[in-house]
Amino acid sequence: MEKEMNFFDLCVACWHAIGRFCVACWRVLTRMLRLTFRYWWIVVTLVILALAGGWYYTRYENTTYRVNAVAMLNGATIQQFEEVYAPLRSNQLLPASANSLVPYLKERKVTHFTTYHVIDALHDDYADYVDFKNNVKATDTTNVIMQDRICIQFRIKVKDMPVLGEVERGLLEMLNADPVLQEAYATYLPNLREEAAFNHRQALKLDSLTSNYYYYTASAAQPMNYSGNGVNFYGDRRIRLFLDEIYKQRERMQLVDHRLLLATAPVSLETHFAVDPRPVLGRVKGMAIFFLLSWCFGCLLAEIIDRRKAIRDWLKA
């Protein structure tokens, strides 16, 4: 018969497991310290060699940086874009349109192609930030994932920075040559032009309506003072002005005009690729990693030497 466990018993069991894990970690650490003291010439030699290698590996010319750019999807969905972008992630089965990128991919000048969602937190159809941590869910109604923008990222070394412009051109050529994206763009562009023309017509109508009433009516010929505080109102302006509607229409018109300006291809970049100033592996972080790895490997080698008799007897058995 199985024993039932309440919440208190579960907490006690978890606490005991955490305690045993901490004790095991402490024993391993003390064992490594003993081995370091006993076989210091082995551990110190490996650490010095590793630090020298880490210093050379993390030199400035070899430092890798992330490069980001926000791409506008003119008609295509994120799913369609990801299907076209997928070969760059695996660096396999690249289409013929990616021939200009192949040399840089083979020589590992550009690596780690990834994408991230662009978030609209204010619900104004403008990009607010990029979700680099991938912690925004598709069902989030506060931070909305934009469907017409996506962030493209890859890594490049300092010594390969001169080819960044060529990589950008080659990447856009490969994406814009895809027939699926071209078909979506051919449908999207006429609708976008019609929407821009419609917004311009609506803005002119609002301007004309306001001008005709307030400046071309008979009541507008003579100034009239309604408040008595010295402020003159031209015409009968007791009717509410359409100022809020005009501002909203202007904002919408500017947004659509901006999209039309960028809609020169199925995929276009809002800006050129920008280099993240934080390196992927800086010198301090790299030296710390090389030190820890070399110390652990040195302790492992010292443990093997310390137990060489037991290992030899085990092999002979």
Give me the DSSP letters along 165-209.
HHHHHHHHHHHHT-HHHHHHHHHHHHHHHHHHHHHHHHHHHHHHH
Instruction: List the chain pLDDT tens, one digit each, 317 residues.
Output: 456 667 888 888 899 999 999 999 999 999 999 999 999 999 999 999 999 999 998 888 889 999 999 999 999 999 999 999 988 888 777 888 888 888 888 888 999 999 999 999 888 888 889 999 988 888 888 889 999 999 999 999 999 999 999 999 999 999 999 999 999 999 999 999 999 999 888 888 877 776 666 555 544 444 444 444 444 444 444 445 567 777 888 888 988 998 898 899 999 998 889 999 999 988 899 999 999 999 999 999 998 988 888 888 888 77
Provide the pairing of β-strand 223-224 with 233-234.
antiparallel
What's the CA gap between 194 and 202, in Å, rounded? 12
What are 89's two structure tokens? 């992630």
Contact yes or no for 153/114 (Cβ under 8 A) = yes
Helices (H) and strands (E) in the chain, counts: 9, 8
What are 203's two structure tokens? 């803005």
Dihedral angle over CA of 202, 205, 211, 213, nearest 10 = -120
**Torsion sign, CA atoms 269, 272, 278, 279:** positive
What are 34's two structure tokens? 């003993």
| pLDDT of 29 | 92
What's the CA gap between 108 and 86, in Å, rounded? 17
What's the CA gap between 116 and 85, in Å, rounded? 12
Give the chain's largest Cα–Cα span.
116
Enclosing H/E stretch for 303: helix 283-306
pTM: 0.77
Amino acid letter for position 61: E
